[in-house]
Amino acid sequence: MKSSSVDQIIIEFLQQNRQHLASHQIYEQIRLRLPAVNRSTVYRSLERLVNQGKISVSDIGTGALVYELVGLGRHHHLVCHECHHIIEISDDDVAPLFSKIEQESQFQMLTNHLILYGVCPVCQSKDEK
Ligand SMILES: [Zn+2]
Ligand SMILES: [Zn+2]
């Protein structure tokens, strides 16, 4: 198994699943397609793709780093503090706030992937019971 084809399969998989996935989740999915692949090959592949700038890695505070394809467009996330559910929010909601802050502070913002923590509707209703 050439490592370059593992890279390709990871990219195809992330293209089909436009979401953030932890390395162990990616490994489990890649193993379904390539039963002979081993964990360290997948992890090395992820590291290589991050170094090449093809995928990005974020710490969303769930205890595991998550990977996603670069070039999905600027977007942000709401992360449930309790169940770790991730909701994607559009940059359209955030961009006006960013430009206002930039104008007022003369600060050029580099952050392009906001992670906001909260409690999702499901967990809120659990707490009420
Ligand atoms: Zn993201
Ligand atoms: Zn939740």
pLDDT of residue 3: 65
Per-residue pLDDT of the chain (129 residues; tens, 9 = 90+): 566 789 999 999 998 887 788 899 999 999 999 999 999 999 999 999 999 989 988 887 777 788 988 876 788 889 898 988 888 888 998 999 999 999 999 998 877 788 899 999 999 998 776
> Rounded to the nearest whole angstrom, what is the distance from the C-alpha of residue 9 to the centroid of ligand 2?
31
pTM score over 0.85: no
pLDDT of residue 60: 78
CA pair distance 44, 46, nearest whole angstrom: 5
**Cβ contacts of residue 9 below 8 Å, gap of 6+?**
30, 33, 34
> Rounded to the nearest whole angstrom, what is the distance from the C-alpha of residue 78 to the centroid of ligand 2?
10
Q: Ligand nearest 62 Cα, by number?
A: 2
